[in-house]
Structure 1
Amino acid sequence: MKTNTLLAGLLMTATAFTSLSHADEIKRIALPNSNFPISLAVAVPAQTELLFVSGLLADLHDPQAPKDSFAAYGDTATQTTSILNKLKGVLHSQGLDLGDVIQLRVFLVGDPAKGGKLDFAGLQQGYTPF
């Protein structure tokens, strides 16, 4: 059985603001009754410079596992943590941090260990260290 794992199953892209002078002007609207770290909405003032980060994939987690397998890259939580660490590196190189991210687009594929279903709980778990 051939399966495409999207080189691990998780891909993230991000948009961050880069003008620190506008940091206080960004309006973040929290999700109602939630402490989830992602906002319901974000308003960014005009004339703010934006940084678009290209797609990032998880690093190899188990080099002994078959190439391009889920085992090679870890479960969804492991992949999420790997990608967020890479994203932090990109942001830090530009004088930014994860708090500057105003949009994060995540692409998931089904996890064979979950019957081919998306592991949204694993995605959320991967945010825990951050």
Structure 2
Amino acid sequence: MLLRTCPAVLPVILAFAGPAQAQAIERFERHATLPIARTVQVPQTAETLYLSGEVASPIAAAGAHGEAPEFGDTETQTLSVFRKIERTLRDRGYALGDVVKLTVFLVGVPEKSGRLDMDGFTRAYVRYFGTAAQPHLPARSTVQVAGLSQPGYLVEIEATAARSGRAMLGDLARPAPSHD
């Protein structure tokens, strides 16, 4: 509002502000035993994208006699979820290397006496994070849950991505919308 009523203010603000400095996202300390970052620091100037929980796509459709669709084991579902997350990130101009935080929900499986299949999850996870092609590791939490939104789902993952470089004063330089 101030800029619309007093346009001479913008050059003064920009003169004192100096050039906007892009601050890098910093990943500190790889966890001692897991392929994750212990902490990730995102500067205030970064753009942040929050992805809602994503679940696997079916590997086999529901049967004609009412059988539930098949989604595969933990590893198969995790690969499906990461493909979907990667596609969503790409559609928004981000990449897997921009992921700074993952929250992973895993359902226990009978072959692990009702415990989550961390080995299956990890086999899929390390194909996407900490690789030579994509070395960035996110901070991550993994929890076991009793169930997810549909029978057969074993994996749901929420992701937060951030990329640095957005100038904080960029919004000030944009003209105010006209209400004429």
TM-score (norm 1): 0.71
Q: Is 1:95 matched up with 2:93?
A: yes
Which stretches of structure 1, 4 residues or longer, exceed 4 Å deviation after superposition? 32-35
The corresponding residue for 1:28 is 27
Q: Partners in 1 of 2:32 and 2:110 — Cα distance?
A: 33
1:9-62 deviations in whole A, cap 9, x for unaligned? xxxxxxxxxxxx84x6111013245571x2110001112221000110101023
In the aligned structure 2, how far is the partner of 1:93 from the partner of 1:62?
26
Matching residue's letter, 1:44: V
What is the CA RMSD across the aligned residues, in angstroms? 2.1
More deviation, 103-112/25-34:
25-34
| Seq. identity, % | 36
Change (3 A) 1:115 1:32: closer
Number of equivalences: 105
Which of 51, 54, 60 is 2:52 aligned to? 54
1:63-83 deviation line (CA, Å, top 9, x unaligned): 367315xxx111111110000
- Secondary structure of residue in 2 paired with 1:117: coil
Q: Quote the residue 1:123 is aligned against.
A: 121
Matched to 1:29, the amino acid is F
Higher helix share: 1
2:90 is paired with a residue whose SS is helix
Structure 1: which 5+ residue stretches go unaligned? 1-20
Counterpart code for 1:127: Y
Greater Rg, structure 1 or structure 2?
2
